[in-house]
Structure 1
């Protein structure tokens, strides 16, 4: 449940937020993919830059130092025969050692991050570079063993290969061949250098010892095992240089000498002039060619690598560029489509609110007021074209037209009903006035009390029928036929209202203030009070009385009609007051027409009418007549009866028949 509530809070509420969320989801996904490609490309660029730094600061100096040590080792084993060559080789090694130490000291790469064992290997190689002078003294000392010299120099060279091996994990670039293959080729070149050094030492001494022979055979086996397979694993661009060396005459002569020495075995024969003919030049040429090919495939290719070139970026660079273009296009299209969709939805919403909040209610008010409405002008019909939103707008217009048409037909129906009311009421009034005139004549001629009482009862019924006919006119918006020019005392107005109901003896009229009602309002006030008094009498027990009180207030006259019935609940009271005070009257609601008549009279005369519960449990209807509809008839110095309160007078005013026929 908590997850559901949390998801409900996170869910976008507005249409704008929903559309933005819907459009941003694929864009964010695309941006994430583009970011991954960008990070991968940046990582490739960084790796290339780091590889170039490692190559220039460590790998290339180490390779040059190893090559120089190989040459010095060969010269050291023949220093007695060629001391000048040994001295020159030493100077070259010193130069390479200086470059190596400078590169190590200026390296910006963290050796431990490149390889955990690299710092210890670099320190050991630095120590070897610092012990070169001691190594040379031992190699040139009287009685020095060629085997020891060979082993010491080979150990330094091996330390260099260990540093190179530790660096191979971080030296790969798109331009260079695989570091493992280049390292194998370097060891194959070391095997050729070992062969040259061993045969050179044997040639100086004139004999190939058993140990030297074993080392020579091992070096040949190593070279043959590593060289050919490693060359096959190189990139095609780098393989050509090796194939040129391997296909040359020097390499063929090198192999021929190796075969002869292996066949001759240890001893003086293996190093005789005939066996080693052309060996030095062939071995030197092969070493030179292998060194150049190795540099081109490894350090040279890395040094020339372009961090922003195709070999480095490749497909990832294209993906980054195309991804960026795709993200920008997606953003542009999403913004344009989303903005257009939001604008269309907002326009549709505004149109719907305009119709629901202003245009449709305004048209309804015109229809209820009896004014005609042009449906085509209020809601012009749209053609069903365009997308779904346009079709929704067309549907809303159709709904508006249907509502206006229904309201117009209802207004026409009400107008027709009103016309029927008016016609029937006019005809009934004519007949009722003739009937009342006949009854009045009969009442004057008859002297029998019983018959006279029956005539009075028929007169009451005719009076009530006349009031009901007037109610039809009032509901139809027509003024009743009765009217007074002069003000009528309020007491006579109350008696006239009571006279228009059937159970008039049940109504008690208490002392009334000396106030008159202006002539133009008398008929409506009588009719309104008659409706309220009749309602009170109808909804109270026959044995109870209906109290009719009037009191003078500061700004008008308050009249209360109180019954002793069973009362009304709050909901029924609220509904009755709504019908009395509402601006709209539904003539099709025939349940409480009397309340609608009161509504029309109240609105026409500016009265205030309210129904509320009475303290005795019944219902009290209060009618307030404003000051402008009354005239004070109290003589100067006389106190108004009842004051401002609603306390009854001391004595009841006797009920008298009043037919309201005033001039």
Structure 2
């Protein structure tokens, strides 16, 4: 016996659930992969959107503010020589400062999500933008020093670079180059702007101080250290603009002047008109080109990025689309295939249940009833074609045909056996009737008591043989030849039943109700009781007696009990015997306990109820209930004499009825 496992409860029970579970697992796995790709793509789209927002709200305003402040720094240091340029630079810085403050106000609530230090850096830069008036007042005061002005403006610009540095950790877009590289290029541009401001301040005063010279040399070194390595790290599409600047005449002129000033050292010669010839034009062109290239590689590329474009979606977008198509196709195929498979299996199950529950039993009943069955009509043969399920259906049909064929052959065999039973029984009956008539004549002539007793014993054997012969007719469904037209007292019926067994002296008949049995039922009741009494005598010790009782029932009818003193029967054997008595079908090929089948036929024909049960003394009691419809209260005239009460040995009654009822 298989021990159930805890996981058995989790297993699907029905075929539908098993198929759905089988098809659902790959679909769920595919949907999980598609969901992962969809989430990744959505995350890329969200990152691009966030980068565009950060770019438009912070990076672009900060970059523009830093660029304008760099120009204002140069202009304020040369304001005495070019006041108009300073006024123009101030207007540009004010415009970018306003845009910067608007962007900070819009993104201030989300700044901490981008970088923990960003809110503080933004507040400092906003404070610098608000303090431009004071910064300018200090720069244009008569007592102001160029070095202090340069340092103040440079500090504000560094605050702008601090904000840009905090934003480099945010995910950019695939359209822009890496934020770190763009920031290095911005610092390289700041170094060039510092060079321009320092030389402009020196040219305005006619001499380059030692501090300005040192700052100039440091700016040149920073610019040359950052520019070319950062350009090499740019995307190819953005690198071209910087390479054009580096290979251009303006940058070459700037490098030449940087070299001459560095070689000349501090003093008036370094900022003389001969040394700085073409400097303003060349450095302005280089700064303008670097600003444009920086915008193209950074903020400009981010602003033009399409969240739903190929650069953003790329392979993940294709995976999402193809995954969605795959999921839909998988669902469609799974539904179609699963539904078709479920329908085929359910049809196959229904066909099998139809065959097992209705068609095959109905055909069997026809065969047991002696009716013919057309096997081709009941189970038409199918061709072995199609898939495995179709072949299973064909196999079921073949099994049904084999069962019908076997049942038909069995029915034919039983019919033949029944015919043999009838033929043998008829022949035996003729001979037995002649033998009984001869024995009766010999009993009348014989005067010797011992001889007459032997003749009685032979008579008993012949009577038993006649009963066995009648059993063959009963099993074949034919009524025996014996019969009575008039009602017979129940007491005579019991005596006649006892008279048909060999050990009649072992049977005790108790007081019998004064009722008669309908003549048409007498022969069958005698035969039935004889089978039960003989069975009780055979399965109990020879020294014991079989009790035969009869009693009128309150709810109608008579109950007759045949009780032996044997060893009894087990519960399963008793149940099997009662099943054979009550069964609607009688198997003529079952040679065991054939007397129970005879009782079955007689019970069914007369409408009796027969049951075997355990008796109080350990043996078996056979209870026979005769319905009221078979009883008559009027007693024949010959039976109006008083009947004995108490125990009456059957052996004393047998000789008195030996000539009756044959």
Q: TM-score, normalised by structure 2?
A: 0.95
The answer to whether the 8 Å contact 2:359/2:378 transfers is yes
1:311-358 per-residue CA deviation (whole Å, 9 max, x = no partner) reads: 111111111111111111111111111100111111111111111111
Corresponding residue for residue 656 of structure 1: 654
User: Residues of 1 paired with 2:426 and 2:499: CA distance?
Assistant: 22
**How far 1:196 sits from its partner (Å)?**
0.5
Corresponding residue for residue 614 of structure 2: 613
The answer to whether the 8 Å contact 1:536/1:561 transfers is yes
Corresponding residue for residue 259 of structure 1: 259
Equivalences for residues 51-90 of structure 1 within 5 A: 51-90=51-90
**How far 1:108 sits from its partner (Å)?**
6.4
**What is the aligned length?**
654
2:555 paired with 1:557: no
User: Residues of 2 paired with 1:12 and 1:377: CA distance?
Assistant: 38
Corresponding residue for residue 206 of structure 1: 206
Corresponding residue for residue 593 of structure 1: 594
The answer to whether the 8 Å contact 2:488/2:636 transfers is no
**How far 1:506 sits from its partner (Å)?**
1.7
Corresponding residue for residue 583 of structure 1: 584
User: Residues of 1 paired with 2:636 and 2:518: CA distance?
Assistant: 18
2:646 aligns to what SS in structure 1? coil
The answer to whether the 8 Å contact 2:65/2:100 transfers is yes
Corresponding residue for residue 16 of structure 1: 16
The answer to whether the 8 Å contact 1:509/1:655 transfers is no
1:27 aligns to what SS in structure 2? helix
2:410 paired with 1:414: no
Corresponding residue for residue 284 of structure 2: 284
**How far 1:41 sits from its partner (Å)?**
1.0
**How far 1:634 sits from its partner (Å)?**
5.2
**How far 1:5 sits from its partner (Å)?**
4.9
Give structure 1 stretches of 5+ with no counterpart: 643-647
The answer to whether the 8 Å contact 1:609/1:624 transfers is yes
**How far 1:265 sits from its partner (Å)?**
2.2
The answer to whether the 8 Å contact 2:68/2:89 transfers is yes
Corresponding residue for residue 272 of structure 1: 272
The answer to whether the 8 Å contact 2:516/2:635 transfers is no
**How far 1:635 sits from its partner (Å)?**
9.9
2:622 aligns to what SS in structure 1? strand
2:169 aligns to what SS in structure 1? helix
User: Residues of 1 paired with 2:636 and 2:536: CA distance?
Assistant: 34
User: Residues of 1 paired with 2:215 and 2:417: CA distance?
Assistant: 130
1:266-291 per-residue CA deviation (whole Å, 9 max, x = no partner) reads: 22222111111000011111111111
Give structure 2 stretches of 5+ with no counterpart: none
Corresponding residue for residue 645 of structure 1: none
The answer to whether the 8 Å contact 1:436/1:462 transfers is yes
User: Residues of 1 paired with 2:553 and 2:29: CA distance?
Assistant: 78
User: Residues of 2 paired with 1:609 and 1:122: CA distance?
Assistant: 107
Corresponding residue for residue 121 of structure 1: 121
User: Residues of 2 paired with 1:192 and 1:639: CA distance?
Assistant: 152
The answer to whether the 8 Å contact 1:612/1:621 transfers is yes
User: Residues of 2 paired with 1:353 and 1:430: CA distance?
Assistant: 51
The answer to whether the 8 Å contact 2:582/2:600 transfers is yes
The answer to whether the 8 Å contact 1:512/1:641 transfers is no
Equivalences for residues 122-137 of structure 1 within 5 A: 122-137=122-137
User: Residues of 1 paired with 2:401 and 2:13: CA distance?
Assistant: 31
**How far 1:37 sits from its partner (Å)?**
0.9
User: Residues of 1 paired with 2:628 and 2:545: CA distance?
Assistant: 29
User: Residues of 2 paired with 1:361 and 1:176: CA distance?
Assistant: 82
**How far 1:572 sits from its partner (Å)?**
2.7
**How far 1:589 sits from its partner (Å)?**
2.1
User: Residues of 1 paired with 2:6 and 2:54: CA distance?
Assistant: 53
**How far 1:603 sits from its partner (Å)?**
0.7
Corresponding residue for residue 239 of structure 1: 239
2:613 aligns to what SS in structure 1? strand
The answer to whether the 8 Å contact 1:463/1:659 transfers is no
1:143-178 per-residue CA deviation (whole Å, 9 max, x = no partner) reads: 322112111111111110110111122251122111
Corresponding residue for residue 602 of structure 1: 603
User: Residues of 2 paired with 1:639 and 1:43: CA distance?
Assistant: 114
The answer to whether the 8 Å contact 1:418/1:476 transfers is yes
Stretch moving more, 458-467 or 368-377: 368-377
